[in-house]
Amino acid sequence: MAETLVILFAALILDRLIGDPDWLWRRVPHPVVFFGKLIGWADTRFNDNGASETRREKNGFATIAVLMIGAIVAGTFLGDLFDALGGAGFVLEAVLVAVFLAQKSLADHVGAVAQGLRAGGIDGGRRAVSMIVGRDPETLDEAGICRAAVESLAENASDGVVAPAFWYAVFGLPGLLAYKMLNTADSMIGHKTDRHRAFGRASARLDDFANWLPARLTALLIVAAGGLDRWRDRIRTVMRDARLHRSPNAGWPESAMAAVSGLALGGPRVYRGDMADEPFMNDEGRKDTGPDDIDAALGVFWRAMTVLAVVAGVLAVLAG
């Protein structure tokens, strides 16, 4: 456990400093891209539009089960290999864990929205935000673009950093790879569309389960990043508003970010032409947001990630 936490601490620092270098992933496929190809193949092969909903649901369950077992086997093999390599294996494992974290890449993509608004106005902001959210960018004004960016930052702080870090800390590389396989499957086939409602049901439900605790931990990290001032009020806002989100998990980090940043997040938005008329989290906060609010939210995010790294380091010392 101590060694795993030390590796996690090193991976968090490495990902924060380097992130996902474009020059590397232009030459070598990212592991998540490989996961996506496997999931896409399974979707094409086993999600038969002509089959009954029950059959498609069973196929979907079997698919995600096999994919996750494969990820666990691969993680176990790699863990044993790195153990056998000694110090070199320690470094290689830290690099691999960093590959599956998304601190810098997430911050870069969210920061690009603020840059797009400043350089290209509404059109520039819409182009940038369309890279990170599923809602229809053409329906967003400047405030909507900024709220979407901040919400994506908060939600993906959980899915892209805290959750993989948590499952690695608990189960090592098998846990990390299984989580990333599941989370990638949820993003690809977990939607409630006609094609994936049945086939992706198991992936969506398992992903909700896998993110239940990490989402709540992320909310605590974000509240901690806000400092001691009014922390009780922020906790109360999270406890009151997290359930307003249609996701059982996303509302926790998003309501925490709303409380810390003083913004009202959520609210009505359009997905694939359909209006989602949802209430605001921290409704008393500001709704007229701008690029500076994205910058401020990024500051909260980085402070939360600092707290996460410190916690990993302290736990490593205590476990040792």
pLDDT at 274: 61
Q: What is the pLDDT of residue 272?
A: 60
Q: How long, in residues, is the chain?
A: 320
pLDDT in tens, 77-103: 999 999 999 999 999 999 999 999 999
- Kindly give the parts of the chain with pLDDT less than 70: 270-276
Residue 153 to residue 243: CA distance in whole angstroms:
19
* DSSP letter, residue 228: S
Q: What is the pLDDT of residue 93?
A: 98
pTM of the predicted protein model: 0.94
Q: Give per-residue pLDDT as tens, 167-200.
A: 999 999 999 999 999 999 999 999 878 889 999 9
Residue by residue, DSSP assigns 264-307 as -EE-SEEETTEEE--PEETTTSB----HHHHHHHHHHHHHHHHH
- pLDDT confidence of residue 1: 82
